[in-house]
Amino acid sequence: MAITLNNGFKMPAVGLGVWRMEGKEIRDLIINAINIGYRHFDCAADYKNEAEVGEALAGAFSTGLVKREDLFITTKLWNSDHGHVVEACKDSLKKLRLDYLDLYLVHFPVATKHTGVGATASALDEDGVLEIDTTISLETTWHAMEELVSMGLVRSIGISNYDIFLTRDCLAYSKVKPAVNQIETHPYFQRDSLVKFCQKHGICVTAHTPLGGAAANSELFGSVSCLDDPVLKSLAEKYKKTVAQFLTLSLRKRKWT
């Protein structure tokens, strides 16, 4: 099943995120995912495994397992490259061994000190606080993202981790509207106002932690998991699904991805 984005391109409703996948595991994971039907892979410069993903994709293409046009590849601009958008995108394309991206997202709405294209380091100031680059606005970054579309390097552009106010601002200054806002959302963090705002303005909402953050990383998101919730377990049993299946289907019911 696919979602039609606001620019007419279709995006598979379910994607496989490669965050925290180790380099040595990626090839088998991606090949197996393609074999069972995955066609959307969600990457990011900051995941530090784009080169390994690219190797796996190249292998899938060379063996005829799948064609490039049958896949939807997403990756993301890291905070330290907000002032070097074109160079960062080209670096990701080189690592992924692709001629174009289906979707390129601004990973977080903050510019930090540049540490080298694709380096994705987060420099700390002398006081130990993240060094923010106050000379680069989100509007400047977005216009550079729009240039990627004009150059043919990217088909769709979007945002990630933007709240309702930043999303509103992006709509105000954009010539190319964001096609997607990828956010944390799940039963414990539903964000109805943001979701409704995005949908009202034609922005597809993608959940990057649909099973609850603890399912992905308990260190960052805490130990409470939707997968262990007794209410969700009861509902999943009622519909003869696993909790993960039930949560994924509920997203689709609400027209999220």
Q: For 99-122, what is each residue's pLDDT tens digit?
A: 999 999 999 999 999 888 988 777
Same domain, 18 and 96: yes
Contact criterion met (CB below 8 Å) for 81 and 114: yes
CA distance 61 to 59: 5
Q: Once rounded to an integer, what is the mean pLDDT over residues 160-168?
A: 97
User: Is 94 inside a domain boundary?
Assistant: yes
Q: What is the mean pLDDT of residues 175-182?
A: 98
pLDDT > 90 in the chain, percent: 64
122: Cβ–Cβ under 8 A, 6 or more apart, which residues? 79, 80, 112, 115, 130
CA distance 42 to 19: 8
**Same domain, yes or no: 204 and 227:** no
Look at residue 116 and tell me if it is in a domain. Answer: yes
* For the ranges 13-27, 110-124, 173-187, the one whose mean pLDDT is highest: 173-187
How many structural domains is the chain composed of? Answer: 2
201 and 248 within one domain: no
47 is catalytic: yes
Shared-domain flag, residues 81 and 42: yes
Indicate whether 186 and 238 sit together in one domain. no
Kindly name the residue from 47, 100, 104, 173 that is annotated as catalytic.
47
Contact indicator for 117, 84 with CB cutoff of 8 Å: yes
CB-CB contact of 23 with 48 (8 Å) = no
pLDDT confidence of residue 229: 79
CATH code, domain with 154 = 3.20.20.100
Distance CA 248, CA 215 (A): 14
Residue 215 falls within a domain, yes or no? no
Which carries the bigger pLDDT value, residue 210 or residue 36?
A: 36
Residue span of the structural domain in which 56 resides: 2-208
Same domain assignment for residues 71 and 120: yes
Please indicate, yes or no, if residue 123 is contained in any of the structural domains.
yes
| Same domain, yes or no: 89 and 139 | yes
Do 76 and 190 sit in the same domain of this protein? yes
Residues 22 and 63 in one domain: yes
Q: Closest Cα to residue 74, out of 125, 151, 16?
A: 16
Q: Is residue 82 part of a domain?
A: yes
Structural tokens at position 47: 């995941």
Residue 209: band (very low, low, confident or very high) from pLDDT cuts 50, 70, 90: confident
On the question of pLDDT at 34 being above 70, the answer is yes
Instruction: Tell me the mean pLDDT in the region 239-246.
Output: 82
CB 106 within 8 A of CB 161: no
Q: Are residues 170 and 235 in the same domain?
A: no
Does any domain span residue 213?
A: no
Question: Could you report the per-residue pLDDT of 217-233, keeping only the tens digit for each?
Answer: 556 555 667 788 788 88
203 in the same domain as 84: yes
Give yes or no: residues 15 and 133 share one domain. yes
Residue 217 resides in a domain: no
| Structural domain contains residue 127 | yes
pTM above 0.85, yes or no: yes
Residue 216 has pLDDT above 80, yes or no: no
Q: Is 208 annotated as a binding residue?
A: no
**pLDDT score recorded for residue 250:** 72
